Structures are given as C-alpha cells and as structure tokens.
Structure 1
C-alpha cells in the first residue's frame, strides 16, 4: 500500500501540491483518494461511490432520486449511458454506495411515494421548525453520509446540518444561475420571455439559497411556443443526468468549480394565482402570451366575467390561446390573425368604442381587446363552477352573445360597452 502523507509536515507554503493516495477497508478492496493541500489546509475528496442523503419533494426531484437509486442498485458496476448524461464517454463507475431520503411527511408527494415503495430509508423535517434542529442520520450501514444532494426541496439546509457531510452538498437548479435564484425559476424564465434557459449544478452554500459555486452548467435554447409543463420535464430529466455525471468525477468538478458572481443575478420567488390574472388595460399581447406559457397548462390564466344567472362575478380560465404572430417563424401570421386583420380593416367594428376587455367571436376564436390596441385570441375556456371546459364558441353561445346561426356564417357580433371581461 502506498503510504499516506496526509500527516506529513512537508507541506509547501504558498503552493498547491496534489498527492495521490490509496486506502483499504474491509468493505472495499481499493479506493482512490485525491488530496489537495493549499496553504496548510487539507481538503480530501474521494472518488465515488458515495453515501448520499437525498433531499427532495416533487416531480422535479423524483427524476434525480430515480437515477441515484437505480445507480445504487447496479450490481455489475456498469452504468448504461443515457441521453441526458453530460459525459462524452460512458459512465463506468457506480457512484452511489448507499442512499437515504429526506422529504416532507406527505404521502401525496412523489419522492415520499418512491422512497416508501422502494424501501429507501426516509426521514422528515419537523412540521413546525423545518430543518432547524434536524439531526443527520447515519447511512443504512451506520456510516456517516458523504454528500447531501438537494433538488427542489423547499427548505434551507442549515450550516450545522451541512457540516455533517464529509464533502458538503450539491444542488441541481433549473436555471442559468445567477439568473433566477429562488423557488420558481422555471415560471420566471417564461414570465420574463427568456430565449434560453439551462441547468446549474452547484455547491450548497451554508448561508444563502442558490449562490454556491457552479460545478456544471448547461445552456438550453427555448422555443417561443414552449409551455411550462414540458419545459419542467425536460429540465428535470436533463438535470438528473447532470447530477449523476457530476458525481462520477466529483473531485475534478469540485476542483474546477467557479463562483457565480452577481452580474445578471435575478430573483425567482414563489408564484401564486393572483399573478395569473389578466389585466386587460395593462397587459399587452406579449405579456399575456408569457402568462399563458407560464400558467396555461397548470394553474391557468384567468379573468372574471359577470354571470346574470348567479348575479355574481365568475372566474373564467382560458385553456387554449392562439399564439401571437411574433412567435411564428418568418413572421407568418396564423390563419386566425389573418381573419382578425380582415375584420378590423373592414370597419365593422367601431374601434373608438372598443375598450380593453371587450370581446367578439370570429371563426371559433374569442378575440379580447388588450393594452396597446392589441387583440388576443382564445379557442377554449373553463368557467368557474362548470364541470368541463368548452370551446369559445360554445361559451359565447351559452351567454347569448352570438347565435349559432350567425357564428356558422362567420359573421361578427359586436358587443355593446357593457359586454366585456374585467
């Protein structure tokens, strides 16, 4: 066995020396260690496999947990290369020696269900204090954990907890940090109209969320028609592969990590349903399209409309929207926008009296006036207290705004001032 020089006094001041050592244990015949000696400070980062405590909750976290668990279950020591891996060569090392999970005590969450179904040891933050007094457990073999891996966990990992891990922790964040630091980076990527996004695998910082050094980062171009749910899935699966590849060569990744800096840093706090409400007088077509991309396939974008039957204002959620012209290649207008322009140019609408929120039906599209003299089109809606969504034409027929006969003839029903959404 090569003698370890970890305790040697022959450490060069003001210089960096890398010494390669090996150690043997009863459970592992050979394990390489790379030790970096810098100004009398020793940081030892062993090559994999690692004992990992995973922190996560939801449908973003589950992809990383699944990959880590499948890697842990490998018996041959060979990892099948995947399309999401960022390595240029096939992975040949089992990177997960042991794994356990920390997640909220909520059986409806995917991480909880996966850990339960696969009999992975599971621990929970305190319902009231969160991670404040959390005691890091030992691994299934009663050994200290090497690394904390955190993905969409929702709780800050305190310094005392992080200090329990031999090599600290890493986090997968679905944005190009330092842009969109916070709990909802994917929402804010779409709300800001970003043309690209990405994945950042970073070191956990003991004092702040999402500011740690970057271990690996990948850029992803955004299609202007991309919606939240498929984007979240793409980032979650890609990020899971990047976590695994980072762990595969963690000592090198840690050595070459770079600071985020503050240039271009933005915040991405949690979102709520109030942000998905359309303000027709303030929101233009670009803003409403960004709202639809961010919220349209989950919490939905909405307005309110007066119900004569219930004598009350009801929430109206728009479930399908006509993409704006600027989202189409070569500025080619969709057929619906061609028809809209024909209506406007025909003079059949008194544009001077059309206020933001006024709407009409043409060729199955409900057109609503918005800010900056714009129009946005919707083809299906869901009214509060109704069982299912309906087409825009069916909704307006039911409100008596237009008759089936006139709609079939593609005529325009110009609304009086009182008929508008707010």
Structure 2
C-alpha cells in the first residue's frame, strides 16, 4: 500500500488531497496506508500582519491529518526519515521537491498540473488560459522531475476541457480541481506510477505560464481591447488603473501631479449606446440610471460596478464621480484614467 507524502498549498491542491483522504478512509481501502501533508509555515499576511494558514494546512488540520511545515530543502529532507513515504505527490506546492527526497521513495513522485502540458508550464496555467482567451484547457498527471518544474514524464492527460463563456479563475479552478483529483486516483488505482512508466506523447507545444505579478492587473488603455480587459478580470479578479491628482506638498507651493491607484470590480462589456469617436482612451462618465461607470477602451467601453480610490473603501460609481473634483483637484469632465507607463 502507498505511504504518501503530499506537498500542497492552495485550493487546487485541497481538491486532490480531499480525494486521497476519501480513498484512504473507504471501508475497502487497499490503496493508501498513510497520508502525510507537507506545506509552508504559517506566516503573517496583509497590512495587519495576521497569521494566516494556507488552504491545504487548514484543510489537513481540520481533517486530523499529520501536517508538517517545511520552507527549505533541508527541512524537507529531514522529513524523509520521519514519515518514510514510498510515493511523493506534489500539487501546487510552489517549490521543487529535492531530488534526494524523491529518490528515496520507491515509486518516485507525481504532480497534478491544470493544463495540457507542455502548454502553460509554470505556476499560473489557469490564469494564462483565461487571460489569453483560450477556448479549451485540460489536466496533466506527470512524474516529478528531480531538478526542473513541469519536465516530468506525462503519464495521464485529460481530453480538452471547454472554457465557458462566463468562466473565471475560481470556476475553472473548481472544475479542473475535480477533474485532476479524479485522474490522480485513477492513476494510482491503475498503477501508472510504477516502473516501467509508459509516457504519453503530448499534442501541445511548450509555453510558459510564470508567476503573475501584481502589476499585471493594470489596465493598459493604449493596448487592451474591451475583450482583453474582461479576460484579464476573469483571470485575475479586480483590476487597477491610475488617476492624476493635484496635491500641494507645502502651503504656498504649486500643486504637483501624482498618480493614485483606482481599483475596479464588477467589470462587464458595455454594449449600450455611447458616442466613442470623440472620447479619449480611459475617459469615463457615469451611467446614472444603472449606477455604472463607463470607461473608453481601445475598441469600445467597459462598464464598472464598484470602484475603489486609493486609501478609500469600495464605493458606487455615483459616489466615486461625485468625489472626483474634491479628490483630484479637477472636474470629472477634465480627468480620465491613465496607465502608469
């Protein structure tokens, strides 16, 4: 039977761990004898520096599974003798599992990855698929490579999974998480992890989906079309732009321009009547009937339902527009959103 060392962190990894736990707890279980969870240490997060566990840590603790904290290579290697696994499973752990740890496992290691590898190799495949407007994606089960991310042998791969019209990151993660966890159990039941492994020849080409930085959630008015803004919102959540604000550093000094961040949520494509030809990119006005902020894009307009000016809370578009003159030192008819570069 399998003695599994499970490395994970996020919601996607919780789906896989939950399915493994169900299999271990089944009355007729003859597959899994032990299930140890390895994840990161609990660290303070946010402006108030509140100690917050990662989702896999919370789930495993509530499920009364053994939870081990490891943030470094040495800490991981120390666990090898302690838990004595014969199979490593890593799902969204975010760090390479040391080759020495994997080699001590009789059956090596497996990884569940939410794309059809080698397409979107890296830490953010779901976000890239949605942001790029892909029509389909999928899930891959691969072996763990000892020195590189997403370079293992592909031993199972789903068919193409449609990305729905209104799909966002959360909904696609939910669907791929369920598919991936089912595929993982089937892989274990079929013994595909045992030598000799018969790799699958992939049908996609290599592309990279590296970690997404906070700056990538900025709307670039000179480049983004309406559809690309919507895809960005679906993949990353709330987006930001900037607004110029005139401020005085000293009482008798001239006012200087500064950029203040403005965050949008509840973003939709605007399809109603709007004369766009004379409006500059990033210019906005209030749809007072529906309480929506309409903003000019490269090829149309977006409609925004919630707005957050820097240092303020989310507010309605009506309130945001009414505060523009006071906050920025100019009338709303003479200001617009701009990009930082």
TM-score bucket (shorter structure): 0.7 to 0.9
* Contact 2:37–2:68 (CA under 8 A) maintained in structure 1: yes
Residues 399 and 251 from structure 1, CA distance in 2 versus in 1: closer, same or farther, beyond 3 angstroms? closer
Seen in structure 2, the aligned counterparts of structure 1 residues 134 and 290 have a Cα distance that, compared at 3 Å, is farther
Counterparts of 1:216 and 1:357, CA distance in 2: 46
Partner of 1:56: 8
1:203–1:215 Cα contact (<8 Å) kept: yes
TM-superposed deviation, 1:214: 1.8
Q: Distance in 2 between matches of 1:99 and 1:316?
A: 45
Map of 2:45 onto structure 1:
none
Tell me if the contact between 2:110 and 2:193 (Cα under 8 Å) persists in the aligned partners: no
Q: TM-score, normalised by structure 1?
A: 0.68
User: C-alpha displacement at 1:269, in angstroms?
Assistant: 0.5
How large is the RMSD of aligned CA atoms in angstroms? 2.7
Aligned: 1:286 with 2:253: no
CA shift, 1:308, in A, is 5.7
Separation in 2, partners of 1:262, 1:176: 8
Q: Aligned partners of 1:415 and 1:120: how far apart in 2?
A: 56
1:358 is matched with which residue? 283
Q: Would you say the 8 A contact 2:155–2:192 is kept in 1?
A: no
Q: Is the 8 A contact 1:177 1:260 kept in 2?
A: no
- CA–CA separation in structure 1 for the residues paired with 2:214 and 2:230: 16
Counterpart Cα distance in 1 of 2:261 and 2:321 = 15
Give the match for residue 306 of structure 1. Answer: 244
Match of 2:54 in 1: 109
CA contact (8 A) 1:102 1:125 kept: yes
Query: Residue 291 of structure 1: CA displacement?
Result: 1.0
Deviation for aligned residue 1:185: 1.0
Cα distance per residue 1:143-187 (max 9 Å; x no partner): x42211110111101221110110111100011111100011111
- Residues 253 and 223 (structure 1), Cα distance of their counterparts in 2 relative to 1, 3 Å cut: farther
What is the CA-CA distance between 1:254 and the residue it aligns to? 6.5
Structure 2 CA distance for partners of 1:130 and 1:183, relative to 1, 3 Å: farther
| Counterpart residue number, 1:73 | 25
Shift of 1:100: 0.9
Aligned to 1:239: 180
Query: Aligned runs of 1:330-369 on 2, under 5 Å?
Result: 336-337=270-271, 339-340=272-273, 343-344=274-275, 351-352=277-278, 354-362=279-287, 363-364=289-290, 365-369=292-296
CA separation of 1:133 and 1:94: change in aligned 2, threshold 3 A: closer
Instruction: Please give the alpha-carbon distance, in whole angstroms, between the structure 1 residues aligned to 2:112 and 2:304.
Output: 36
Q: Deviations over 1:39-71 (max 9, x none)?
A: xxxxxxxxxx31111111122211211221232
Instruction: Mark the CA change 1:358 to 1:157 in structure 2 (over 3 Å): closer, same or farther.
Output: same
Q: 1:202 to 1:187 in 2, by over 3 A?
A: same
What residue number does 1:272 align with? 213
- Which residue of structure 2 lines up, in the alignment, with residue 248 of structure 1? 189
* Structure 2 unaligned blocks of 5 or more: 43-51, 249-256
Residues 1:145 and 2:85 aligned together: yes
Once the two structures are superposed, residues 275-301 of structure 1 have per-residue CA deviations (whole angstroms, 9 ceiling, x without a partner) of: 0001111222222122111112xxx21
Partner of 1:177: 117
The structure whose RCO (Cα within 8 Å, separation 6+) is larger is 2
Q: CA deviation at 1:252?
A: 8.0
Larger radius of gyration: 1
The answer on whether the counterparts of 2:141 and 2:156 sit within 8 Å (CA) in structure 1 is: yes
Question: Any idea what SS the aligned residue of 2:11 has?
Answer: coil
TM-score (norm 2): 0.82
User: 1:193-272 alignment to 2 at 5 Å?
Assistant: 193-218=133-158, 219-251=160-192, 257-260=198-201, 264-272=205-213
For structure 1, list consecutive stretches of 5 or more residues without a partner in the other structure.
1-48, 78-92, 324-335, 402-413
Change (3 A) 1:254 1:230: farther
